[in-house]
Amino acid sequence: MAHQMSSGSAQDRSRRLVMPYSDEAEQSVLGSALYNKEYLANAVAELKVTDFYVQRNQVVFTAILDLVSRQEPVDILTVTDRLEIKEELAAAGGAEYVISLPDKTPIMQNQAHYIKVVRQHAQRRALILALRKIIDLAYTSGEDVEDLINLAADRIYNIRESRDLSGFSILGDVLNRKINELHELAQGKRPKLIQTGYPSIDRILGGLRPGGLYILAARPGIGKTSLALNIAHLAAKREESHVGIFSLEMSKEEVGMRILVGQSQIPADRMEKLKVKDDDWEEISKALITLYTKPIYIDDRSATNVVEMQARCRQLQIKDRLDFVIVDYLQLMSSGGRTSRSENRQQEIAEISRMLKIMAKELEVPVLALSQLSRESERRSNRRPMLIDLRESGAIEQDADVVMFLHDENANTDEPRPDVYEIELIIAKNRHGATGSVHLAWKPVLTSFFDTTEIPPPEEAPL
């Protein structure tokens, strides 16, 4: 009981605190907006009425927006006149207050700082109100705790996204950054692109770009998870790339074993059936030593949504480093929104793909997300997958920088398959270059893909 009283007291105390705001910063923004067109444009572009906390400042800014929308001049006289017409001059503090606003701006050239102060206080208030609602629900409702956590994460994410003010960049600055990047590459500095480790793929894609969303799709059983893990393994082994893997279907141990099989070249079923030879143990030991320090991080929590993924990735970036993220797979995710269970699944997948793209841009790393294909691709006479086959949402195609399909034209035949056979990787969309297809050698017993120039020898039967 004492604990409940303490919690209740803390809740009451939080409600008595004054919301964060700065009347001086709000006045400075309004005063500068009334001063000239440049400062007016900045304020209108970057602030909303609700960013102002003081009521009279909200009323004045609303009048300014009214004049802008009517394409009328904005100054002390026109704003005062507009407020009189709307019978809101008293609510705006009177004509004296409006006239005094430019004089309340200490230095006009510091307007960007005043806007930032107003915006940050508005974000703090939004955060307080969002979390206060969560606190109330935690105290009073019978909601599932997981739903409350998802709701809190979703609201925080929306606050962040709603304040994306990157806006325009001048062409000269954009090109200057790109030329500097190319110059660094020409000087032999470490490339920013993550190489897949497959020369035939890298020749088309050039590597995986920071901020890019890459979709790898296939029907079940074709090998999309294996290819993604092969790429992760090669990126960590050859480039020391720090890779984060979100496995929503397999456990950490299963993911780890697949990577171990690829490194040791000892088939998984031989290990599981205890048919490992003496020489095999030596190879497994060498593989373990090689993999032990490789920067591959695995998260297998099945209920993970994009908001939580981004938070965990950000933690990893702060503690160490992060170069590349893999998500297996998209259709097992939820957006984290409160209504996601009842909404149309297509809408939710669209939201997830959009959030994954935003995550890639904010973390400045490539994100490789695996996706299922719809069953329609199996019903056509020509079963080669196309962009329309992406399951549950065309928004995946829209958000992705690159869309790739794994295709095995003999997947549904009953004929025996060789130890190693070819699977086609179709690059159906490439925002930064050419499309086309390459053939990879697939060795199922090792869950490994190889470039066709590196096809491994046939597997010997175990003793």
Closest CA to 160 of 366, 45, 310: 310
Q: How many domains does the chain have?
A: 2
Q: Please check whether residue 154 lies inside any domain of the structure.
A: no
Q: Please check whether residue 173 lies inside any domain of the structure.
A: no
CATH code of 304's domain:
3.40.50.300
Range of the domain at 446: 190-454
CA distance 395 to 403: 12
Predicted local distance difference test score (pLDDT) of residue 392? 60
SS (H, E, C) 413-435: CCCCCCCCEEEEEEEEEECCCCC
Predicted local distance difference test score (pLDDT) of residue 304? 73
Low-confidence spans in the chain with pLDDT less than 70: 1-16, 157, 160-169, 185, 188-191, 271-278, 303, 334-345, 375-382, 391-394, 454-463
Residue 236 and residue 107 share a domain: no
Predicted local distance difference test score (pLDDT) of residue 256? 86
CA distance 448 to 441: 8
Q: Please check whether residue 399 lies inside any domain of the structure.
A: yes
Whether the CA torsion 423, 429, 432, 435 is positive or negative: it is positive
From residue 426, alpha-carbon distances to 217, 230, 238 in Å are 10, 17, 25
Helix (H, G, I), strand (E, B) or coil at 407: strand
Q: Please check whether residue 183 lies inside any domain of the structure.
A: no
Query: How many CB atoms sit inside 10 A of residue 20's CB?
Result: 14
Contacting residues for 107 by C-beta, under 8 A, at least 6 apart: none
Query: Is residue 43 within 8 Å of 74, Cβ to Cβ?
Result: no
From residue 16, alpha-carbon distances to 10, 98, 136, 203 in Å are 10, 31, 15, 62
The reply to whether the predicted model has a pTM over 0.85 is no
Residue 198 and residue 133 share a domain: no
CATH code of 86's domain:
1.10.860.10
Residue 229 and residue 87 share a domain: no
Predicted local distance difference test score (pLDDT) of residue 2? 41
Q: Please check whether residue 176 lies inside any domain of the structure.
A: no
CA distance 256 to 232: 12
**Last-in-domain residue among 126, 142, 158:** 142
Residue 132 and residue 232 share a domain: no
Q: Which residue pairs from 313-317 have beta carbons closer than 8 angstroms and sit at least 24 positions apart in sequence? A: 313/244, 313/359, 313/363, 313/365, 314/363, 316/242, 316/244, 317/363
